[in-house]
Amino acid sequence: MKIEITEVGSRDGLQNEPVPVPTETKIELIHRAVDAGARRFEVTSFVSPRAVPQMADAEAVLAGLDVPEDVVLQALVPNLRGAERAAKTRAQEWVCFLSVTESHSQANSNCSVDEAIARLEPVVELARTEGRKPVAALAASFGCPFEGITPLDQVLRVARGLHDLGFEEMKLGDTIGTAIPSQVSVTVSSLQKALPQVGLVLHLHDTRGLSLANVMAGLSLGITRYESSLGGIGGCPFAPGATGNVATEDLVHFLHAEGHETGFDLGKLVEHGRWLSEQLGRELPGRLLKAPPIGATQPLDGIERAVG
Which residues are part of the catalytic machinery? 236
Q: What's the angle, vertex CA 236, arms to CA 257 and CA 181, rounded to 5? A: 40
Q: Of all helices (H) and strands (E), which one includes residue 194?
A: helix 181-194
Do the Cβ atoms of 273 and 9 come closer than 8 Å?
no
Beta bridge partners of 44: 75
Residues β-bridged to residue 99: 139
User: Which element (helix H / strand E) includes 200?
Assistant: strand 199-204
The per-residue DSSP string of 105-162 comes to HHHHHSS-HHHHHHHHHHHHHHHHHHT-EEEEEEETSSEETTTEEPPHHHHHHHHHHH
3-state secondary structure of 252: helix
Closest CA to 161 of 109, 104, 111, 115: 115
